[in-house]
Amino acid sequence: MSYLSQSQIISIPISEQFRQTALEFAQGQPTVAKAKQVYLNTLAVQVVNTYLTMLDIPTELEAGYCWLPRGRLFADVADLVLTGVGRLECRPIRSGDRTCQIPPEVWDNRIGYIVVEINKSCKEGKIIGFTPDVTTSEIHLEQLQSLTVLIEYSHLVQLRQWLEGIYTSNWQSIEELSNQRSNQLSFRAKRVRGFELDNPAKAWQVVEQLYPYRSWEKNLPKELLDNTGQQTGNLEVSPNNYSKLTGAIAHLLQTTPDEETRWTLAEILWTLEPNHPAISARRLIDLGMRLAGHPVALMVAILAKPDRNVAVLLRVYPMGNQPYLPPGLELAGLDENGQTFLEVKARENKDDYIQCKFCAEFGERFQVRVSINNVSIQENFVI
């Protein structure tokens, strides 16, 4: 084969049990063509699952859409869930094929695509290669990357999965981390534009400051009006219209093009309703005492953008009884080549957090480094 060297291709025997499972799934299909599709898809998924198990990469075989009767009936799907990482699509080809078909229904919500060659007797599967993203319904085998890229991806924090509510266990919500008695986050009173966000009425005052001359009115849909035709902002904040208030903020967050305004709205919504789906892709990792004895936590939050890119917010907070970050502590964002594109340092007795903001595209990799006194901790991400 000219597209990848033989040393890069992994051969996995297909057992009788694998073929029996594939046959069982295929027999429930309405046409011969659909039955063949399901049969090969099921074999490909089992081959990849065997390979990843050999590498001690945890998977959840039966959590895939292709393991659900309705999932395989209504879609051409061959997904394998990597625990805490996301869905990997396992696409089958036959011996001699030079291209692989990628149906449009699996272009989204995937951490990548792995191609498996099934031989004529269906007794052997060869894992040919991997690609992290697709934009067309057909890929040439020459485009595939080494399987080492897949292994690297399995160890990256997959931020795209955060938008689907999928997180690894070491990344926690602020509430989860704060509820651990020994890991209290040190927060000052939340203030945005001079207002303490201690009740919904004050929160809405901040929203009105963001939109001079009530320009927010034209951005709200009719369902966020009250029965008299007035906007939420005119109403007295009460349990009856609280959902309208948070709904209005969430709608503005999703439709406002200005990045600073969007993050301010996110901050307000975090305070009013931390688990609102519009801003739920926010997690922290406890860096503990690994940073020269300084207890801090790294927060990462992402917001989906209308142009299919994402906005990223990085923050470092002090933990325990420390009201401020240690002076000189640095937070930096680096590209996949290790080049710094953003950095900020904590000042003495002044910063209860430091942060960086930037935008990134799906498939883009970056690194986050937290450091002080030549000691650093680094986390690796992919959008």
- Tell whether 10 and 133 lie within a shared domain: yes
- Tell whether 298 and 244 lie within a shared domain: no
Look up residue 108 and give its two tokens.
């989204």
Identify the three-state secondary structure at position 22: helix
- Tell whether 263 and 378 lie within a shared domain: no
The pLDDT of residue 371 is 93
- Tell whether 35 and 110 lie within a shared domain: yes
In a domain? residue 163: no
- Tell whether 288 and 266 lie within a shared domain: no
CA pair distance 347, 15, nearest whole angstrom: 62
In a domain? residue 106: yes
In a domain? residue 358: yes
pLDDT tens-digit readout, 27-60: 989 999 999 999 999 999 999 999 999 998 999 9
Can you list the positions of beta strands (E) in the chain?
10-13, 59-60, 79-82, 86-94, 99-101, 112-118, 124-131, 138-140, 157-158, 191-192, 195-196, 282-286, 296-304, 310-318, 330-335, 340-345, 354-360, 365-372, 375-382
Question: Confidence class of residue 240 from pLDDT cuts 50, 70 and 90?
Answer: low
- Tell whether 64 and 15 lie within a shared domain: yes
Predicted TM-score of the model (pTM)? 0.71
In a domain? residue 338: yes
- Tell whether 246 and 334 lie within a shared domain: no
- Tell whether 91 and 178 lie within a shared domain: no
Pick 264 or 215 by higher pLDDT: 264
Question: Residue 302 sits in a domain of what CATH number?
Answer: 2.60.40
- Tell whether 182 and 114 lie within a shared domain: no
Tell the residue number behind the tokens 């609102």, with chain if given. 276
In a domain? residue 168: no
Our count of domains for the chain comes to 3
In a domain? residue 165: no
In a domain? residue 161: no
pLDDT tens-digit readout, 86-140: 899 999 999 999 999 999 999 988 889 999 999 999 999 999 999 988 989 999 9
The pLDDT of residue 125 is 97
258, 278, 298: which is the final residue of a domain?
Answer: 278
CA pair distance 193, 111, nearest whole angstrom: 39
In a domain? residue 271: yes
- Tell whether 199 and 265 lie within a shared domain: yes
Mean pLDDT, the chain, rounded, equals: 84
Q: Is the pLDDT of residue 264 over 80?
A: yes
- Tell whether 181 and 326 lie within a shared domain: yes
- Tell whether 133 and 230 lie within a shared domain: no
Q: What residue numbers bound the domain in which 348 lies?
A: 174-187+281-382
CA pair distance 305, 322, nearest whole angstrom: 35
